[in-house]
Amino acid sequence: MSSKPLRILYFRNARGISDVTGAESYVFALMQALDPAQVETRLLATVRPGQTDTPWIIEARRRGLPLQLVEVDSRFGMQDLHALRAAIRDWGADIVHTLDHRADIVGWRGARAENCALINAFFGWTNFTGGFSMGSLYAFLDRKVQARADAVITDSGYMASFAGSGARRSPVVVVHNGVDAGRFEPSGAHGDLRERFFGQRDVTVFGTVGRVHPNKGQLELIAAAKRLCPKYPSLRFLIIGAAPPGWEAYRDEVRNAITAAGLQERVVFDNVPSSDIPAVLSSLDALVSPSHVESFSYSLLEAMSMALPIIATDVGGNREMMVPDDSGIIIPAGDVDAIFNACQRLLDDAALRARLGQRARERLLERFTLAAMARRTTDIYRAVLASRRERLAPAAARERLQRLSAVPVGQ
């Protein structure tokens, strides 16, 4: 007799989100990749009042995902807690799978009240800059809540070391992000956007894709571009992304830096719908990711799938994702000279560009497919529920889950 599908309620705090970020990429991918015969999914998302037609919401609807929005009027509002508890009861959710610090905290309260299993997805606090801030408080509270979840799923061994805290630390399991290698197929008919962005096709384009935020290093890329452009007349740079709410001043700083460097004809700063990202990548000759903070970047995985040569900083899970000088070039973060030298190396060696791109695609197909991500996640869901049914002691539940981790995680 076949068992009924598991019911997974994804709970996302999107009050500070406008565009598709890594968390949206993660949950959208899972909801479409999980076998519906085994797992049914829904997404409940917290938004600010009136924030019901932003790019990430448009993309979720375009994909036909079951989405419920809950407007919360302040950081102290409780509308999402009430909606979460109602959704658990009315739909009969087996697991609440949370994304973001607020969702973790509210999700813990709601799941505990409804006697529902709880899994936190943890990708770090990559929107927070250094120093003490409200972000520091969120991170502190998030660790405390993670210690009470049935499991914490993170996307890299590097990030796993930051998840949870204290003697009650929950099982932490690594599930590497995966992408749809068919959608990001280098030989696909994606189109070429060079004419649109630069008015001509016979140019060499290096680009970066991601949210516009100080942690993403766009200013360092512009500084390197200022030195590279005089030496390579056909070289152009494409910066794709949107600033999260609250970071508009940094977006303006990026625009002003392009103007101050005299690069208005050489650097295009724009954004596109998520559905156009394959066409953007198809229009690049190399992807540059000058981030100061990363988890396990979807932008890099998508570029690998498109067989692009990649320059990435030595942060987050990048060394788990790529083998240096085999499937990508890894450089120190915040180092304009390193960006300049790595770009120059690729510009001067077409064979190196081709080899790095080919190896990147091969590594992605070996390790980071969407199907592999969905299988491992489904196994974790089943293991969490089995441990609860059997009332396993924490150590035994942790051991069961740790066997499912993509890489060993110290506890």
Q: 321 and 379 in one domain?
A: no
Contacts of 144 (CB under 8 A, 6+ apart): 165, 166
Q: What is the pLDDT of residues 87-128, one digit of tens each?
A: 999 999 999 999 988 999 999 999 999 999 999 999 876 555
Q: 362 and 379 in one domain?
A: no
Taking alpha carbons only, the member of 380, 320, 379 closest to residue 171 is: 380
Burial tier of 363 (Cβ tally within 10 Å: 0-12, 13-18, 19+): middle
Do the Cβ atoms of 302 and 178 come closer than 8 Å? no
Q: 391 and 356 in one domain?
A: no
pLDDT of res. 284: 97
Calculate Rg over the CA atoms of the chain: 21
Q: 12 and 154 in one domain?
A: yes
pLDDT of res. 19: 87
The pair phi, psi for residue 307, each rounded to 5°, is: 60, 40
* Structural domain range at position 200: 194-367
Q: What is the pLDDT of residues 371-401, one digit of tens each?
A: 999 999 999 999 999 999 999 998 899 899 9
Domain assignment present for 160: yes
Domain assignment present for 110: yes
Q: 387 and 340 in one domain?
A: no
pLDDT of res. 1: 37
Residue 19 CA to residue 12 CA, distance in Å, equals 14
Q: 116 and 154 in one domain?
A: yes
Residue 233 CA to residue 244 CA, distance in Å, equals 33
pLDDT of res. 134: 57
Q: 218 and 280 in one domain?
A: yes
pLDDT of res. 203: 97
Domain assignment present for 272: yes
What is the sign of the dihedral through the CA atoms of 45, 296, 314 and 264?
negative
Domain assignment present for 187: no
pLDDT of res. 166: 47
Q: 200 and 96 in one domain?
A: no
- Low-confidence stretches of the chain (pLDDT < 50) are 1, 132, 166-167
Tokens 């998840």: give the residue: 163
CATH number at residue 218: 3.40.50.2000
Domain assignment present for 292: yes
Domain assignment present for 410: no
Task: Take residue 170 and report the two structure tokens written for it.
Answer: 């929950």
Domain assignment present for 189: no
Q: 148 and 272 in one domain?
A: no
Overall domain count for the chain = 2
pLDDT of res. 103: 94
Q: 236 and 171 in one domain?
A: no
pLDDT of res. 140: 75
pLDDT of res. 167: 47
Domain assignment present for 218: yes
Q: 35 and 14 in one domain?
A: yes
Tell me, letter by letter, the H, E, C secondary structure of the chain: CCCCCEEEEEEEECCCCCCCCHHHHHHHHHHHHCCCCCEEEEEEEEECCCCCCCHHHHHHHHCCCCEEEEECCCCCCCHHHHHHHHHHHHHCCCEEEEECHHHHHHHHHHHHHCCCEEEEEECCCCCCCCCCCHHHHHHHHHHHHHCCCCEEEECCHHHHCCCCCCCCCCCEEECCCCECCCCCCCCCCCCCCHHHHHCCCCCEEEEEECCCCHHHCHHHHHHHHHHHCCCCCCEEEEEECCCCCCCHHHHHHHHHHHHHCCCCCCEEEECCCHHHHHHHHHCCCEEEECCCCCCCCHHHHHHHHCCCCEEEECCCCHHHHCCECCCEEEECCCCHHHHHHHHHHHHCCHHHHHHHHHHHHHHHHHHCEHHHHHHHHHHHHHHHHHHHHCCCCHHHHHHHHHCCCCCCCCC
Q: 388 and 288 in one domain?
A: no
pLDDT of res. 377: 98
